[in-house]
Amino acid sequence: MNMHGIISPKIREKDQSARTWVTAGLSWISRNRVFALAVVMPTILLSFYLFVISADQYESEAHFLVKSPEKSEFMAGGLTQALSMVTGEGSGNNVALSVVDYLASHDVVETLRKEDRLVERFRDPSADMYSRLWSANPKPESLLKFYQKQVSIHYDSETGITSLVVRTFKPQDSFDIARKLLQLGEARVNYLNARSYSDAVSSAQRQLSEAQIKLEAIQRVMTNFRQQRRDIDPEVTGKAQIGLVSTLTGQLAAARAQLSAMGGMIDHASPQYRAIAGRVRALEGQVNAQAGRLTGTGDTIASNIGSYENLQLEQQFLAKQYEAAAANLQKAREEARRQQLYVTRVVEPNLPVKSLYPQRFRVLGTAFVVLMLIYSISWLIVAGVKEHSA
């Protein structure tokens, strides 16, 4: 049997069918050239790029939040207030926003560029030229712009959770960058904690130092006073002097009484009377001298006591001021430690397995719908103009 004779008609039938389809297609394109150029051709070109040229991109995601040791609930903020002071929930919120801003900044991009081969990761050879970073030595602004396109950082004010999403052309690259960004965020929180602790404690420390300097100064003044007056404690000396004057006054009174009694019984010229009279004069001199030393003019015990009491009052005041400053410093330290914030990792970075980008069918469908809408609106406008002209 001649197989060629059997197959040939079938082949000829298929060729004829293909020619018919091509002819019909060309005829349709000829009749709908505008639609073909405006909708069909862009869709075909976009399909070719998406399914043939565009590179797969892998996404690694991590979640974190900022908490205070004394707060069990989520704080309204993930990883600022350059810490006017770290205080309660408001500070957690501010720190979160500051870290979000920091992770999207030039500082982080430069750190990743130096320490984590950011440019090399964004210029992966497997990526198509339209998706990857073009320049091997990009300007900081260009690199930051590309970085912000590939890295998304979102803070949820309701839960306090900050989401970190990294997209690159290799699963390991996305995982490594996400992990590095988490480390940088934690380091930023630690830095802000240190800043806030220093700010909170430095003021109290400064007050304590000033109080200590003043207290040491008054102590030196009191020491100089004692050395100049040759008196350790003028108050004790004054009490002793008062006791001495009282004793001498008592002795003088007794001697005068004895002298008065003897004056009525014996001759004033007698040796015994003269001895008592001499003792009275001697006691009077001592009483006057000791009383003058106690309350006279010039450098007296009374004036020394007054000056010393003033110094004592000042010393006691400065000692209390020093104690209060020391207590404030301890309180400031405890408060600063109590209000320190820390990062809690809610979701660790994942090592992606399946590429999620580009979303080829979604992009293609969206583009086709948009092109159809543009074409339809344009067709309606043109048709309306023609009808109005007619």
Q: Give per-residue pLDDT as tens, 115-132.
A: 988 988 988 888 777 788
DSSP string of 213-272? Answer: HHHHHHHHHHHHHHHHHT-S-HHHHHHHHHHHHHHHHHHHHHHHHHHHHHHTTS-TTSHH
Residue 46: predicted pLDDT: 73
Q: Give per-residue pLDDT as tens, 184-235.
A: 999 988 888 888 788 778 888 888 888 888 888 888 877 776 666 665 566 6
| Pair 268, 292: CB distance under 8 Å | no
How far apart, in whole angstroms, are the C-alpha atoms of residue 203 and residue 336? 12
CA atoms within 13 A on the CB side of 256: 9
Q: Average pLDDT of 311-319?
A: 82
Residue 228: predicted pLDDT: 67
Place 75 in a pLDDT band, splitting at 50, 70 and 90. very low
Residue 82: predicted pLDDT: 37
Compute the chain's Rg from CA coordinates: 50
Task: For tokens 């100089």, name the residue.
Answer: 224
Q: Average pLDDT of 7-17?
A: 57
Q: Average pLDDT of 326-330?
A: 84
Interhelix angle 171-229/301-338, nearest 10 degrees: 170
- Identity of the highest mean pLDDT range in 82-91, 255-264, 294-303, 322-331: 322-331
Residue 334: predicted pLDDT: 78
CA atoms within 13 A on the CB side of 297: 0
| Pair 182, 164: CB distance under 8 Å | yes
13-17, 34-38, 196-200, 342-346: lowest mean pLDDT where?
A: 13-17
Nearest to 346 by CA among 192, 219, 160, 207: 160
Place 177 in a pLDDT band, splitting at 50, 70 and 90. very high
Q: Comparing 1 with 45, which gets the higher pLDDT?
A: 45
CA atoms within 13 A on the CB side of 110: 7
Q: Average pLDDT of 135-162?
A: 89
Burial 27-58, CB ≥16 within 10 A → b, else e: eeeeeeeebbebbbeebeebbebbeeebbbbb
Nearest to 39 by CA among 377, 384, 362: 377
Place 332 in a pLDDT band, splitting at 50, 70 and 90. confident
Q: Is the pLDDT of residue 136 over 80?
A: yes
Q: Average pLDDT of 292-301?
A: 56
User: DSSP E strands: which ranges in the chain?
Assistant: 58-67, 151-155, 162-168, 342-347
Residue 298: predicted pLDDT: 52
Place 319 in a pLDDT band, splitting at 50, 70 and 90. confident
Q: Give per-residue pLDDT as tens, 242-293.
A: 666 667 677 767 777 776 777 667 666 677 777 777 777 776 766 666 655 5
Residue 179: predicted pLDDT: 93
Q: What is the DSSP letter of 57?
A: B
Residue 84: predicted pLDDT: 38
User: What pairs with residue 58 in β-bridges?
Assistant: 168
Residue 226: predicted pLDDT: 67
Domain borders along the chain are 58-204+339-347, 206-336
How far apart, in whole angstroms, are the C-alpha atoms of residue 302 and residue 307? 9
Place 81 in a pLDDT band, splitting at 50, 70 and 90. very low
- In single-letter form, the type of residue at position 86 comes to V
Q: Give per-residue pLDDT as tens, 13-23.
A: 555 665 565 56
Residue 278: predicted pLDDT: 75
Task: For tokens 């344009």, name the residue.
Answer: 378
Q: Average pLDDT of 356-378?
A: 80
How far apart, in whole angstroms, are the C-alpha atoms of residue 147 and residue 164? 13
Place 24 in a pLDDT band, splitting at 50, 70 and 90. low
**For residue 186, with 0-12 CB atoms within 10 Å meaning exposed, 13-18 middle and 19 or more buried, which class applies?**
middle
Which parts of 49-160 fold into alpha helices (H)?
Answer: 88-103, 106-115, 118-122, 140-150
Output the CA angle 14-18-20, nearest 5 degrees. 115
Q: Is the pLDDT of residue 295 over 60?
A: no
Q: How far is CA 7 from CA 4, 13, 14, 20, in A?
A: 5, 10, 11, 20
Mean residue pLDDT of the chain comes to: 75
Proportion of the chain above pLDDT 70, given as a percent: 68
User: What pairs with residue 67 in β-bridges?
Assistant: 342
Residue 69: predicted pLDDT: 65
Residue 56: predicted pLDDT: 80
Question: Which is it for the CA torsion 328, 91, 347, 174, positive or negative?
Answer: negative
Q: What is the pTM of this model?
A: 0.59
